[in-house]
Structure 1
Amino acid sequence: MEHDQLVAPGTAHVMSSYLTCEVATVSRSGTPVAWPVSGVWRPADQTFVLSTSIGFAQKALNVRRDARVALLFSDPTGSGSGSAAGQDQPGQVLVQGDGACPDEIVTSFSRNGDLWRKIDSAQPSSRALSGGRLTRRLLDVYYMRLIISVTPAAVTTRPALTGAGRPLSVPAMPGLPASYARELGDFTSGVLARLDDDGLPTLDRVVPEPADGGLLVPGIEAKPGPASLLFHRHDEQLAGNRSLVVLGELIEGTGGLVFRPDRVVDGVRTAGLLTPFRFVRGLRARAQAYLDRRGLERPVVAWDELEAIQARVDADTASR
């Protein structure tokens, strides 16, 4: 099927306008794991392009080892699309395809200017990560990026999720400590990452319910196996970010398919007095480990190119 048939105009609009999507890659253990990302759809190349810091390199490493990738565009927050889509625009878009991530650290912003323009305009708070000599010295590793491109092989549109208005109520259980179980009450849904019948990663936005020593995922028909649940949120300007992933497996329960937790992987947390210090310390340590394993010198970030992109965004905003 030709790509212009695969990605219809309404579908392309969702892929371009949603501020984030969930991207699932396959871990070394064979578990599909999803994290929220921002990216750009490039119709001329028929690829979706995203990037990640070398301090958050795991999804890139997964893609290099296993090209199977899935993207789900399911959260319209900040996109101007509202919770319901028009007749020509689906509420959710699932993309399954092949990912590629060259073993190259990119510190030039002009090479992916469209991506950085989107991030800067959608997330004004991101400028705090590059606004000053000390900040740049501490957070230059954040801008040492690995570029992932995804070429769609299958695209599925879905209506917006219904029945997700109330906060989740999840008890503590093995694999899900009480502190994280309480925190899930700040979310109204999660994103299930699993393998489909063809062994490809796929994603479903779900409203999990406690059952059978795990979490029932209603409305999902799938074979048992390794899986994960991502919970993430952001506000209209990509601030107030929080993400965490629960790793586990899907099993057959008395009332349907049940996700049984094994452990929690903490993600981004922007709230809290000590959060910025922990974020910087962890990011720098992981980034240095990435460089050390490869025997690489610390690359230089092209700050002037980032400043030029920010100036262009400001000019475009002022002209509206």
Structure 2
Amino acid sequence: MTALSVVRWPTAVVPLFERALTCEFASLTRSGAPITWPLTPYHDAGAATIDVSTGLSYPAKAERARRDPRVALLFSDPTGSGLRDAPVALVQGLATVRDADLQANTDRYVRRLLGKLPQTVAGQPWLLVRQQLWYWSRVWIEVTPLKIVWWPTGRVDGDPLRWEASAEVTAPPSDPAPEGSAPPPWAAPPADWRQGADRAMGLGNPVLTVRDADGWPLPLRTLAVERVDDGFVVRTGSLGAGARGRACLTFHAHAEAFTGQQNAAFVGTAAPTADGVHVRVERALADFSLPAGRFRQLRTLLSSGRTLTPRLAHEAARRRQPLPVVRRPV
């Protein structure tokens, strides 16, 4: 069977799944290295999955999840959720990638985003919204939780509580992989990771992601961070003690009213030290931040659109589907 007919997750974390504006989504590359990026989660009461999405024109997250369905969702920033004393929750589960119906995916994303973050398009003429097809065209990733670890008070320096699904719970298979070769990355990373390190330090304590003893991505909110010559030293709770191996360090922040988001992510190797975990950075990931301010946002969207729009037809053709259209929800 795919999932239990009645989902019985810990009641303390369900409101977070429903109301969080962002979570940290972790997936694994072909070589097994973790990559973590903030995404908007969606969960309906009683549903068996927690869902995120990525753009059809930049589907790398989905392709990683289709190739290796072991993923994780960390809910460590309740900003904008309206929840007081929110827990921090880590979900490890199996991903199901949905891209067999691009029009349905796009309709779903328009409906869900406007329902959760209506301010993202406030004041924009619908004609302008429709022209941003490169953004609204979506691939969905539905995550079936197998393990949930949570810190009830949000203090990750304490001992967490744990929940595991029964052995019969699994996830449905992903839609078939698209044909042909995926396009190269759409944005070039900085030539020198240090260029963005100081800005990243202003975004608060990052999320450190390594792999756990069973090979699953393990994203953890850190307690402190320090810049060093070759990377960063972070302090973690007990779950991150001894973290080592391929690592991703993800910084991000947004306001209570989600009108923009700042991101920075670095990949390298982690090793425990007397002061915490030393992350030796090899490179920064390409940045896709959305600055606050309508004019700056519009300029960013136009620039991104010029780069990403030509990729849409290629990705739709790989899936043997026509381009979707952006339709106003009914």
Show structure 1 runs of 5+ residues with no match: 86-90, 164-173, 309-320
Q: Matched residues in 2 for 1:203 and 1:117: separation?
A: 29
> What secondary structure does 1:55 align onto?
coil
Are residues 1:187 and 2:196 paired?
Answer: no
Whether the aligned pair in 1 keeps the contact of 2:27 and 2:34 (CA below 8 Å) is yes
Superposed, 1:246-285 pairs within 5 Å as 246-265=266-285, 266-271=287-292, 276-285=298-307
Amino acid at match of 1:301: V
Amino acid at match of 1:136: R
Cα deviations by residue, 1:94-125 (Å, 9 ceiling, x for unpaired): 0001001134352337963xx65552244233
> What secondary structure does 1:141 align onto?
helix
Amino acid at match of 2:145: P
Amino acid at match of 1:216: V
Change (3 A) 1:156 1:162: closer
Q: Matched residues in 2 for 1:302 and 1:184: separation?
A: 34
> What secondary structure does 2:57 align onto?
helix
Structure ranking higher in helix proportion = 1
Amino acid at match of 2:263: S
Change (3 A) 1:133 1:119: closer
Moved more, 272-281 or 100-109: 272-281
What is the match of residue 12 of structure 1?
Answer: 14
Cα deviations by residue, 1:237-257 (Å, 9 ceiling, x for unpaired): 211311121111102434342
Return the offset for 1:187: 1.6
Change (3 A) 1:280 1:30: farther
What is the match of residue 216 of structure 1?
Answer: 233
Q: Matched residues in 2 for 1:261 and 1:15: separation?
A: 31
Whether the aligned pair in 1 keeps the contact of 2:70 and 2:216 (CA below 8 Å) is yes
CA RMSD of aligned residues (A): 3.0
Return the offset for 1:27: 1.7
Change (3 A) 1:59 1:130: farther
Whether the aligned pair in 2 keeps the contact of 1:42 and 1:49 (CA below 8 Å) is no
Amino acid at match of 2:298: P
Identity, % of aligned positions: 27
What is the match of residue 81 of structure 1?
Answer: 83
Whether the aligned pair in 2 keeps the contact of 1:106 and 1:147 (CA below 8 Å) is no
Change (3 A) 1:130 1:59: farther
What is the match of residue 127 of structure 1?
Answer: 121
Q: Matched residues in 1 for 2:124 and 2:56: separation?
A: 17
What is the match of residue 204 of structure 1?
Answer: 220
What is the match of residue 300 of structure 1?
Answer: 324
Change (3 A) 1:101 1:287: farther
Return the offset for 1:275: 5.5
Are residues 1:93 and 2:89 paired?
Answer: yes
Moved more, 195-204 or 103-112: 103-112
Q: Matched residues in 2 for 1:198 and 1:255: separation?
A: 25
Q: Matched residues in 2 for 1:129 and 1:156: separation?
A: 40
Whether the aligned pair in 1 keeps the contact of 2:105 and 2:139 (CA below 8 Å) is no
Q: Matched residues in 2 for 1:45 and 1:5: separation?
A: 7
> What secondary structure does 2:235 align onto?
coil
Q: Matched residues in 2 for 1:162 and 1:51: separation?
A: 27
Q: Matched residues in 2 for 1:34 and 1:64: separation?
A: 16
Return the offset for 1:223: 4.1
What is the match of residue 314 of structure 1?
Answer: none
The equivalent position to 1:48 in structure 2, one of 37, 50, 65, is: 50
Q: Matched residues in 2 for 1:144 and 1:59: separation?
A: 15
What is the match of residue 230 of structure 1?
Answer: 250
Whether the aligned pair in 2 keeps the contact of 1:46 and 1:151 (CA below 8 Å) is yes
TM-score between both structures, scaled by the size of structure 1: 0.78
Return the offset for 1:143: 1.3
In the alignment of these two chains, the number of paired residues is: 286
The equivalent position to 1:239 in structure 2, one of 259, 282, 285, is: 259
Change (3 A) 1:26 1:109: closer
Whether the aligned pair in 1 keeps the contact of 2:133 and 2:326 (CA below 8 Å) is no
Q: Matched residues in 2 for 1:14 and 1:56: separation?
A: 27
Q: Matched residues in 2 for 1:81 and 1:221: separation?
A: 29
Change (3 A) 1:290 1:63: farther
TM-score between both structures, scaled by the size of structure 2: 0.76
Q: Matched residues in 2 for 1:231 and 1:31: separation?
A: 18
> What secondary structure does 2:17 align onto?
helix
Return the offset for 1:175: 5.7
Q: Matched residues in 1 for 2:218 and 2:12: separation?
A: 21
Superposed, 1:158-197 pairs within 5 Å as 158=151, 159-161=153-155, 176-177=193-194, 179-197=195-213
Change (3 A) 1:8 1:211: same
